[in-house]
């Protein structure tokens, strides 16, 4: 059962319950009031009749010599003055009955207490203590039966009134009310279903939108109208959808990066492992001259070192991927730029000497210190300078500079084509793969530098012109990538 039907059925059910409960109570109260009115009216009438009968008997008593005379007078008087819905008794014995109904007075007197609640209907509770009243039923008719002794005489009057119509009217009103209530309930059910369906329409749209998101369409959004609770739900849903879309997109990008990273890693491992395996098999199976053996062992050592450096840089990249700017900010210290440059030159001293490259440093007066993590900044400068060494010809010059705007590493090497600048910070990307591999590179250095710069809230900017060298600058202001 749909929610619209449930809400409508529940509302109509409660409405019917309360309305019918009130209707039954109202009918009973109306019936009680009418019955009370009839009862008081009939009692007044019976009491008046008893008084008149008693007065007439008193006037005629002087010439009534015995019981037989009293009976004869009473019967004659009763038949001449009373209606067909009354019975006259003498000493508990039926004397005259013109009603056509038989009444067992002894039985009525015995069971009168069963209807004691009828006394609650009386206008005055101090009515005569000897009268009885009850409701009887005969031939499908309901009768209000009243009995009263006639003064101090031996006569008694029984009076009844047919009140079947009172109960039939109440029953008919109840049935009519119930039928009308059912008709109104059907009409209300249809109207309420339309209203509830209209109210719940945004939630149907919400369900449809959620189904689309579940099917992979993360661009779907809810239309917001007004400022009610439904609009608040739509706003929250749209925000959730935006977050989900961003998260899924981020996961997709991360997955794609990892896929490319694994592909590049497999490619990078294939060449050295093939060479190492070939030379190892050659050394095991063939008796080589000492010079060839040394050459093979040297190649194996060189490739193992390169794989070791590759592994170290991959681990560093993985560690940096788990870092956050807040964690780096907590570890930041004020560092002297001169010491950073000196440490970089010390680490690259052997490589600089091998190619007879001159390392020049320049520090502006207002750039003597920098806020950052010492180990990460040394790694950044070392990788940038190492790339500059690889790109420079023997006897070239590399410049480390510090200004208020940032740190830079410049060389006079072969440069980088403009179309390659946007890709050079991707892991394992190398402009000249054969040259970089011969120099021991793996295409991870600039990826590390870019990650370190981002964690510090900086921007890595690389400018290059083929044949005239490259300038890598870490800008202290801005996070927007600008690699060209």
Domain boundaries, the chain: 3-173, 218-322, 324-484
Its CATH architecture, for the domain 324-484, is: 2-Layer Sandwich (3.30)
Task: Tell me the two tokens of residue 452.
Answer: 């370190």
- Looking at residue 45, its pLDDT comes to 86
Sign of CA dihedral 4, 6, 9, 13: negative
Please check the confidence at residue 484 and state whether its pLDDT lies above 50: no
Q: Which fold has domain 3-173?
A: Beta-Lactamase (3.30.450)
Please check the confidence at residue 442 and state whether its pLDDT lies above 60: no
Please check the confidence at residue 281 and state whether its pLDDT lies above 90: no
Range scoring the smallest mean pLDDT among 22-36, 264-278, 410-424, 431-445? 431-445
Those residues whose C-beta lies under 8 Å from the C-beta of residue 99, and which sit 6 or more positions away, are 84, 85, 86, 87, 160
- Looking at residue 272, its pLDDT comes to 65
- Looking at residue 440, its pLDDT comes to 45
Please check the confidence at residue 139 and state whether its pLDDT lies above 80: no
Q: CA 309, CA 444: separation in Å to the nearest integer? A: 10
Region class of 67: left (phi > 0), else alpha (psi between -120 and 50), else beta = alpha
Mean pLDDT computed over 94-118: 82
More confident residue, 315 or 364: 364
- Looking at residue 427, its pLDDT comes to 63
Please check the confidence at residue 37 and state whether its pLDDT lies above 60: yes
- Looking at residue 430, its pLDDT comes to 58
405-408 contact pairs (CB < 8 A, 24+)? 405/475, 405/476, 405/477, 406/458, 406/473, 406/474, 406/475, 406/476, 407/337, 407/370, 407/381, 407/473, 407/474, 408/471, 408/472, 408/473, 408/474
Helix (H) or strand (E) holding 402: strand 397-402
Q: Report whether 155 contacts 88 (CB < 8 A).
A: yes
Please check the confidence at residue 28 and state whether its pLDDT lies above 70: yes
Mean pLDDT computed over 215-239: 76
Please check the confidence at residue 433 and state whether its pLDDT lies above 60: no
Range scoring the smallest mean pLDDT among 30-34, 127-131, 190-194, 293-297? 127-131
Q: CA 366, CA 374: separation in Å to the nearest integer? A: 19
Please check the confidence at residue 15 and state whether its pLDDT lies above 50: yes
Is the whole model's pTM more than 0.85, yes or no? no
For residue range 371-401, what is the model confidence (pLDDT) as tens digits?
888 878 888 888 888 888 888 889 899 999 9
Position of tokens 């005239």?
468
- Looking at residue 166, its pLDDT comes to 86
For residue range 292-340, what is the model confidence (pLDDT) as tens digits?
888 888 878 877 876 776 566 556 655 665 555 666 666 678 889 899 8
Q: Look over the chain and give the mean of its residue pLDDT values, rounded to a whole number.
A: 79
DSSP 147: E
Please check the confidence at residue 267 and state whether its pLDDT lies above 70: no
Q: Phi/psi of residue 154, each to 5°?
A: -95, 5
pLDDT band at 74 (very low <50, low <70, confident <90, very high): confident
Residue 308, Cβ neighbours under 10 Å: how many?
10
Mean pLDDT computed over 111-119: 77
- Looking at residue 391, its pLDDT comes to 85
Rounded to whole angstroms, what are the CA distances from 71 to 87, 91, 100, 102, 155? 14, 10, 20, 19, 9
Please check the confidence at residue 480 and state whether its pLDDT lies above 60: no
Please check the confidence at residue 407 and state whether its pLDDT lies above 90: yes
- Looking at residue 400, its pLDDT comes to 92
Mean pLDDT computed over 24-53: 85
């Amino acid at each position: 059962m749909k929610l619209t039907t449930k809400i409508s059925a529940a509302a109509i059910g409660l409405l019917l319950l309360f309305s019918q409960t009130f209707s039954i109570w109202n009918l009973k109260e109306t019936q009680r009031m009418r019955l009370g009115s009839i009862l008081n009216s009939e009692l007044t009438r019976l009491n008046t009749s008893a008084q008149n009968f008693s007065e007439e008997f008193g006037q005629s008593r002087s010439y009534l010599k015995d019981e037989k005379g009293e009976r004869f007078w009473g019967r004659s008087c009763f038949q001449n003055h009373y209606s067909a819905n009354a019975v006259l008794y003498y000493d508990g014995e039926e004397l005259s009955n013109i009603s056509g109904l038989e009444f067992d007075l002894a039985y009525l007197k015995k069971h009168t207490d069963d209807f004691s609640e009828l006394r609650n209907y009386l206008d005055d509770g101090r009515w005569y203590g000897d009268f009885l009243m009850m409701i009887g039923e005969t031939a499908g008719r309901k009768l209000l039966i009243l009995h009263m002794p006639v003064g101090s005489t031996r006569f008694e009057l029984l009076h009844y009134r047919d009140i079947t119509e009172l109960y039939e009217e109440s029953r008919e009103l109840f049935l009519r009310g119930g039928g009308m209530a059912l008709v109104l309930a059907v009409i209300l059910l249809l109207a309420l279903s339309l209203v509830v369906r209209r109210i719940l329409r945004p939630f149907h749209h919400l369900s449809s939108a959620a189904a689309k998101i579940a099917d992979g369409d993360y661009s779907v959004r809810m239309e917001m109208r007004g400022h009610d609770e439904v609009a608040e739900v739509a706003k929250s849903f749209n925000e959730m959808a935006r977050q989900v879309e961003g998260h899924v997109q981020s996961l997709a990008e991360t997955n794609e990066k990892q896929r490319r990273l694994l592909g590049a890693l497999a490619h990078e491992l294939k060449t050295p492992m093939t060479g190492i395996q070939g030379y190892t098999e050659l050394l095991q199976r063939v008796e080589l001259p000492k010079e060839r053996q040394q050459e093979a062992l040297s190649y194996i050592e060189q490739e193992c070192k390169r794989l070791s450096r590759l592994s170290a840089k991959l681990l560093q990249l993985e560690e940096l991927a788990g870092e956050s700017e807040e964690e780096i900010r907590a570890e930041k210290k004020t560092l002297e730029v001169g010491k950073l440059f000196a440490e970089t030159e010390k680490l690259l001293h052997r490589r600089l000497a091998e190619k007879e490259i001159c390392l020049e440093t320049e520090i502006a007066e207002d750039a003597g210190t920098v806020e950052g993590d010492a180990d990460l900044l040394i790694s950044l400068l070392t990788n940038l300078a190492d790339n500059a060494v690889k790109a420079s010809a023997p006897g070239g010059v590399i410049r480390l500079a510090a200004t208020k705007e940032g740190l830079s590493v410049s060389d006079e090497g072969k440069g980088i084509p403009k179309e390659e600048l946007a890709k050079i910070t991707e892991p394992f990307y190398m402009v000249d793969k054969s040259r970089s591999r011969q120099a021991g590179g793996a295409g991870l250095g600039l990826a590390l530098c870019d990650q370190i710069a981002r964690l510090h809230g900086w921007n890595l900017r690389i400018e290059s012109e083929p044949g005239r060298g490259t300038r890598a600058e870490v800008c202290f202001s801005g996070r927007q990538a600008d690699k060209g």
